């Protein structure tokens, strides 16, 4: 069992004048489940990377049972500490799930005859045995996160660091994985340190909550911890204002006998499905059930069976570029959507290609201020935090002003305050430009007054939930 201690740690990124972490002192006890929260871009990922030894620092301020990680031979460090990144796909090297786990264990120099048993046990522990031979790049974002977590389990490190591990995980699976992490700390003595913005589900599992703000860490008392977690109680995550579309309501996007398959798996059986103009529709469902596949089909980037029409015309008869001006997709991974180097360059490109003259330079500056990005205009996009990238991505997509905007996990990596700001901006732009939003999100906190319709994907079928208007 290992206690992680931080002593007077200060860290400043190159070409930045203000430290991200300023004289931080903290201790994460052995065998406990510690949760870190704080604003987007506040330094949580930086802190975890420093603990993992993934960022260069001259400070000797991080110790594992009073021993610096630099004193541990490089080949042995993964047995001491392992980290799961915000974007798990960036950690993958091999083609299949099994090969990726085997590769990780081989790098740890685990004896060859022990690898099959540890690999199987890790997949079973996370509940993804069925994914064993699947191609990693064919998995959903949530499935990839579960694979990355299985790799961490297989490595059997004493300290486990997790950066937003549930950002693309459905609520049911989230609770199962929380139970597994608590089991690792309480039954196997692992020191678990996890950073998250969405605090739902942690009440029964976390030993201590720590807040990172203005470069400083503060450990909350048990009473303050429960008060903070109560904000994310299940009752506050329910969608109580959604309605079912009227039977005679005309759909803007209509699927007729629409069905979806992927890699030999049936995701959606043939059904008629309508999506409605000038409303906000939320689609939920288990990881890997086909939500992102549906989005790709709606923008002509994926295969489907049946017919999809937009405003009464089969989308296969519409040319790709004009159709993209009407229906656009915001990707789940923000970094894959950017085309430039700096924030300002990306914004300039979006303004140049905007389908509306609504967004003036002054308005863009105001929105950047609201999103706490005003001082980041010259910054390289890929040095932004995950939450900051997501806010920039969303702003760029809104500037483009398509009639229909498909949003795949648009709130990933956002703290609660940023989430509320983003929702207010989405509402204003929707009202000003009469836009239609269709989104996939596993995070439900704060969405109740934003969502008009709720489509649930379950048992290969999409069904509207709520009270009929």
* Structural tokens at position 363: 């308005």
| 187 belongs to the catalytic site | no
State the SS3 of the chain. Answer: CCCEEEEEEEECCCCCCCCCEEEEEEEECCCCEEEEEECCCCCHHHHHHHHCCCCCCCCCCEEECCEEHHHCCHHHHHHHEEEECCCHHHHCCCCEHHHHHHHHHHHCCCCCCCHHHHHHHHHHHHCCHHHCCCEHHHCCHHHHHHHHHHHHHHHCCCEEEEECCCCCCCHHHHHHHHHHHHHHHHHHCCEEEEECCCCCCCCCCCCEEEEEECCEEEECCHHHHHHHHHCCCHHHHCCCCCEECCCCCCCCEEEEEEEEEECCEEEEEEEEEEECCCCEEEEECCCCCCHHHHHHHHCCCCCCEEEEEECCEEHHHCCHHHHHHHEEEECCCHHHHCCCCEHHHHHHHHHHCCCCCCCCHHHHHHHHHHCCCHHHCCCEHHHCCHHHHHHHHHHHHHHHCCCEEEEECCCCCCCHHHHHHHHHHHHHHHHHHCCEEEEECCCCCCCCCCCCEEEEEECCEEEEECEEC
Residues present in the chain in total: 469
Angle at 126 between CA 144 and CA 80, to 5 degrees: 85
Give the C-alpha separation, 429 to 435, whole Å. Answer: 8
Give the C-alpha separation, 376 to 343, whole Å. Answer: 7
Active-site entry in 100, 143, 164, 346: 164
* Structural tokens at position 197: 């913005």
* Active site positions, annotated: 164
């Amino acid at each position: 069992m290992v206690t992680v201690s931080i002593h007077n740690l200060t860290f400043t990124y190159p070409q930045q004048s203000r430290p991200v972490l300023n004289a931080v002192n903290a201790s994460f006890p052995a065998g406990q489940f510690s949760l870190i929260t704080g604003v987007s871009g506040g330094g949580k990922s930086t802190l975890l990377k420093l603990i993992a030894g993934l960022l260069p620092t001259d400070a000797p301020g991080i110790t594992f049972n009073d021993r610096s990680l630099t004193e541990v031979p490089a080949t042995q460090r993964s047995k001491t500490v392992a980290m799961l990144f915000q974007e798990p796909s960036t950690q993958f090297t091999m083609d299949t799930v099994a090969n990726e786990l085997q590769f990780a264990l081989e790098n740890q120099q685990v004896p060859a005859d022990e690898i099959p048993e540890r690999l199987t046990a890790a997949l079973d522990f996370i509940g993804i045995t069925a994914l064993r031979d699947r191609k990693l790049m064919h998995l959903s974002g949530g499935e990839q996160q579960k694979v990355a977590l299985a790799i961490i389990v297989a490595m059997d490190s004493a300290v486990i660091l997790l950066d937003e591990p549930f950002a693309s995980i459905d609520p049911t699976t989230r609770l199962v994985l929380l139970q597994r992490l608590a089991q690792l700390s309480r039954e196997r003595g692992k020191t678990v340190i996890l950073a998250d913005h969405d605090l739902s589900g942690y009440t029964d599992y976390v030993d201590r909550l720590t807040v990172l703000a203005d470069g400083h860490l503060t450990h909350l008392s048990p009473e303050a911890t429960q008060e903070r977690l109560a904000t994310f109680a299940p009752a506050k995550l329910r969608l109580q204002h959604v309605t079912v579309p009227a039977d005679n309501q005309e759909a803007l996007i209509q699927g007729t006998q629409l069905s979806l398959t992927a890699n030999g798996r049936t995701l959606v059986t043939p059904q008629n499905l309508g999506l409605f103009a000038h409303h906000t529709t939320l689609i939920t469902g288990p990881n890997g059930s086909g939500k992102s596949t549906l989005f790709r089909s709606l923008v002509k980037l994926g295969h489907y069976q049946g017919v999809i029409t937009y405003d009464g015309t089969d989308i296969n008869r519409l040319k790709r570029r004009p159709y993209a001006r009407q229906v656009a997709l915001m990707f789940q991974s923000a970094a894959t959507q950017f085309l430039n180097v700096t924030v300002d360059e990306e914004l300039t490109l979006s303004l140049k290609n905007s389908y509306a003259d609504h967004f003036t330079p002054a308005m863009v500056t105001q929105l950047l201020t609201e999103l706490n990005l005003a001082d980041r205009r010259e910054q390289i996009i890929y040095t932004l935090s995950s939450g900051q990238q997501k806010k920039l991505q969303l702003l760029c997509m809104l500037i483009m002003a398509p009639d229909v905007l498909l949003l795949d996990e648009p709130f990933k990596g956002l703290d609660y305050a940023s989430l509320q700001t983003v929702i207010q901006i989405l509402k204003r732009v929707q009202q000003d430009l009469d836009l239609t939003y269709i989104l996939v999100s596993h995070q439900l906190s704060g969405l109740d007054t934003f969502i008009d319709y709720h489509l649930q994907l379950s048992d290969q079928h999409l069904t509207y939930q709520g009270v009929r208007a």
